[in-house]
Amino acid sequence: MKKIVRKVALAIFALLSILFGVSTFVYYNKYNDTLVELNKTKKELDNLKDGLKNNSFGEVKENNTSSSNENENNSQETAQVPEVSEDVNKVEQEYDKLFPISVTELQEYLNKKENFILLVSQSTCGSCISYKPVFNETLGKYNLKAYVIEYNLLSDNDKKVIDDNFNVLFTPTTIFINKGVEDHENRIDGIASENYIVNKLKATKFIS
C-alpha cells in the first residue's frame, strides 16, 4: 500500500513539474514578445518625438471624397487661414523663389536626370500657406529656387503621376531630387523651420 501511495505521489509530483515547466515556458515567451513590442513602441515614439521637434506635420492631401473635403475644411477653420485663389499662377506670384511647374515639365526634368527641389502643396492648405514664406526666404538666402505643384488643382491623371513617383501622403512635402532621383532620407514632410530646411539643403548637397 505504501508503495502505491509513493508511486502516486511521485506521479503527481512529476505532473506538477511538467505543468510548471510548460507554464514557465509560455510565460517566458510572452514576456519576450512583450519586450519586443515595448521596444518597437519606444522606437516609434522616439521617431515621432524627433519629427515633432524638428518640424510640424502638414495636412493630408486632397482626395476626391466628401469626407476628405470635410476634414480639409475643418482644418482650415481651425487654422483660420484666409481664402486663397485657386489660380496656381496667382498663388505663386508673391514668392520669387517658388515657381509653378506642370506635371509634363516635371517628367521631363526627371527623364533628363536634373537636380532640383520640388514642393508638393495645395492652394487651400493652411500648413502650405504658412510654410511657403519661410521656405521662399530660406531659398533666397542661398540663391536657390524650387518648383511647386498644387496637388488639388491637378487632373486625376496628373495626380496619379505624382502618386506613382513620390507617394505624397500629405502637404506640404518638400522633395530633393538629385540626378532625377529623390533623396528619400531627406524629404521634409510638413512645415519646418529655417534651420531644419538649411540642414536638409546641406544633406542633399544643394548648399555646402
Look at 185 and 11; give whichever has higher pLDDT: 185
| Average pLDDT of span 111-129 | 95
Q: Which residue range forms the structural domain that includes residue 145?
A: 57-203
Same domain for 46 and 90? no
Task: Identify whether 121 is part of a domain.
Answer: yes
Q: What pLDDT is attached to residue 81?
A: 36
Contact 161, 103 (CB under 8 A): yes
Same domain for 81 and 40? no
Same domain for 12 and 98? no
Same domain for 44 and 102? no
Task: Express each pLDDT in 162-188 by its tens digit.
Answer: 999 999 999 999 999 999 999 999 999
In angstroms, the Cα distances linking 102 to 122, 145, 149, 153, 184 are: 14, 16, 7, 11, 22
End-of-domain residue from the set 55, 81, 98 = 55
Band the pLDDT of 122: cuts 50, 70, 90. very high
Instruction: Tell me the β-bridge partners of 118.
Output: 147, 175
Rounded to whole angstroms, the Cα distance separating 124 from 101 reads 18
Strands 146-150 and 116-121: parallel
Rounded to whole angstroms, the Cα distance separating 101 from 141 reads 22
In angstroms, the Cα distances linking 199 to 37, 189, 208 are: 33, 14, 10
Mean pLDDT, all residues of the chain: 76
Q: Is 113's pLDDT higher than 60? A: yes
Task: Identify whether 208 is part of a domain.
Answer: no
Side chain identity at residue 92, one-letter code: E
Task: Express each pLDDT in 98-107 by its tens digit.
Answer: 999 999 999 9
Rounded to whole angstroms, the Cα distance separating 148 from 132 reads 10
Q: What pLDDT is attached to residue 194?
A: 96
Look at 86 and 63; give whichever has higher pLDDT: 63
Per the structure block, which three cell numbers stand in for 71? 476634414
Count of domains observed in the chain:
2
Task: Identify whether 28 is part of a domain.
Answer: yes
Same domain for 101 and 156? yes
| Average pLDDT of span 141-164 | 95
Task: Identify whether 68 is part of a domain.
Answer: yes
Same domain for 41 and 71? no
Per the structure block, which three cell numbers stand in for 149? 505643384
End-of-domain residue from the set 55, 73, 95 = 55
Q: Is 184 helix (H, G, I), strand (E, B) or coil?
A: helix
- Sign, Cα dihedral of 137, 182, 52, 60: positive
Helix segments in the chain, DSSP class H: 2-54, 66-79, 88-92, 103-111, 126-141, 156-166, 194-203
Band the pLDDT of 40: cuts 50, 70, 90. low
Same domain for 41 and 144? no
Q: What pLDDT is attached to residue 95?
A: 84
Band the pLDDT of 89: cuts 50, 70, 90. very low
Instruction: Tell me the β-bridge partners of 93.
Output: none
Task: Express each pLDDT in 53-68 by its tens digit.
Answer: 444 555 666 554 333 3
End-of-domain residue from the set 55, 74, 93 = 55
Rounded to whole angstroms, the Cα distance separating 108 from 65 reads 31
Same domain for 86 and 165? yes
Same domain for 14 and 67? no
- Candidate from 31-35, 150-154, 158-162 with smallest mean pLDDT: 31-35
Task: Identify whether 30 is part of a domain.
Answer: yes
| Average pLDDT of span 19-32 | 56
- The CATH number assigned to the domain holding 116 equals 3.40.30.10
| Average pLDDT of span 188-195 | 95
Same domain for 146 and 169? yes
In angstroms, the Cα distances linking 127 to 16, 20, 59, 135 are: 64, 58, 7, 12
Share of the chain above pLDDT 70, in %: 55
Same domain for 25 and 127? no
Q: Is 116's pLDDT higher than 50? A: yes
Task: Identify whether 179 is part of a domain.
Answer: yes
Q: How many CA atoms lie within 13 A of 110 on its CB side?
A: 18
